Amino acid sequence: MNGGHENPVIIGEQGIKMQLEPTGPAVGMIPDMQFDVRQMELLTGDLLIVYTDGVTEARNPDGALYGEKRLFDLLCQPVESASASITRIEYSLREFTSRAALSDDITLLAVYRK
């Protein structure tokens, strides 16, 4: 489940393996809503990235969006840890936005299976 945010992504050694589909609407929108439970196994070398739309909707000083393509291109580069992938994304966002004020929250979660 993505809680109403962007679909989580699993990246393998060959690049993006899949985007996980939502299992229900945004959390808290509908009282007593039921959500499907699904499981996914991360294989050795897989990276799971969960992110909010504040990442892809971050803007540079000219108003251009960071975008999903830019994020996915970055995620397809080899990574040695979950921490390193988060640091890489943060650095890329700072460079892109030139440290401009953000219009939305940016939340990232990374899980890497060694």
pLDDT in tens, 55-71: 999 999 999 999 999 99
Instruction: Please count the CA atoms within 13 angstroms of the CA of 58 that sit on its side-chain side.
Output: 28
Residue the block writes with tokens 């004020």:
101
**Distance (Å, whole) CA 58 – CA 66:** 5
99 φ, ψ to 5°? 60, 25
Q: Are 3 and 25 in contact (CB under 8 A)?
A: no
Domain-located, residue 67? yes
Least Cα distance to 76 among 91, 89, 59, 95 occurs for: 89
Least Cα distance to 10 among 64, 81, 75, 98 occurs for: 75
Domain-located, residue 1? no
Segment (H or E) for 82: helix 82-97
Range of the domain at 17: 9-25+42-112
Beta bridge partners of 110: 49
- Tell me the pLDDT band of 4, cut-offs 50, 70 and 90: low
Domain-located, residue 108? yes
Of the two residues 23 and 83, the one the predictor is more confident about is: 83
Please state whether the predicted TM-score (pTM) of the whole model is above 0.75. Answer: yes
Domain-located, residue 63? yes
The total domain count for the chain is 1
